[in-house]
Amino acid sequence: MSLPAVATHVLHRHLRTVPPRAVSGEGVYLVDAQGRRYLDACGGAAVSCLGHGHPEVLAAMHRQIDQLAYAHTSFFTTEVAETLADQLVRTAPPGMSHVYFVSGGSEAMEAAMKLARQYFVETGEPERRHFIARKQSYHGNTLGVLAVGGNAWRRAPFAPLLVEATHVSPCYPYREQRGDETPEQYGL
């Protein structure tokens, strides 16, 4: 059940209705104000991949917030950031020696795009500025990642503001492979 849009001052993604109000989370479920449980199939690939209310996660969050809530990474580092970076580098493929922490997926994608651009500028190849992405992909909400996102209907209203990107078929032979293509041909 949705509330009328006038019942909120939050600018939701859909202007005619307001989504149910989530008041708590338990494992893989969200719970609304009426106590109804929803399987959280919208929490994202990494945003709430550990579920809601996991005691070990909550304890780690409490320990950190009690010690230090925030320190801007342009000016400070922290013990937890250094420890996590060490662990990630230790388990990463050879050649991966540094970690760049950001607050979410859109920011991570923007940083990756900027890093790719910076690399080619600094190596004397500034003409290399095109991005290739898969159709039907989703990378976030910012204009930069919207440009490489693969949903044309999401890009259309903002097309004049977006950088150029080429979109190729997704790895989805069930829907995308032509009848006259072998798996090898489709993979090319």
Indicate whether 50 and 109 sit together in one domain.
Answer: no
- Whether residue 61 lies inside any domain: the answer is no
Q: 170: domain range? A: 105-176
Residue 39 inside a domain? The answer is yes
Q: Do 110 and 171 sit in the same domain of this protein?
A: yes
Q: What are the tokens at 186?
A: 């489709």
Render pLDDT for 53-108 as a digit per residue (tens, 0 to 9): 999 999 999 999 999 999 999 999 999 999 999 999 999 999 999 999 998 889 99
Residues of the chain with pLDDT under 50: none
DSSP assignments along 81-132, one per residue = HHHHHHHHHHHSPTT-------SSHHHHHHHHHHHHHHHHHHTT-TT---EE
Does a structural domain hold residue 113?
Answer: yes
Residue 115 resides in a domain:
yes
Return the DSSP state at 49. Answer: T
Q: How far is CA 121 from CA 88, 111, 126, 149, in A?
A: 28, 15, 4, 23
Q: Answer whether residue 65 is part of any domain.
A: no
pLDDT at position 174, please? 83
What's 36's domain CATH number? 3.90.1150.10
32 belongs to a structural domain: yes
Residue ending a domain, choose from 55, 80, 97:
55
pLDDT at position 46 is: 62
Q: Report if residue 20 sits inside a domain.
A: yes
- Output the six-digit token pair for 87: 């662990």
**Count of domains forming the chain:** 2
Would you say residue 71 lies in a domain? Answer: no
pLDDT score for 6: 59
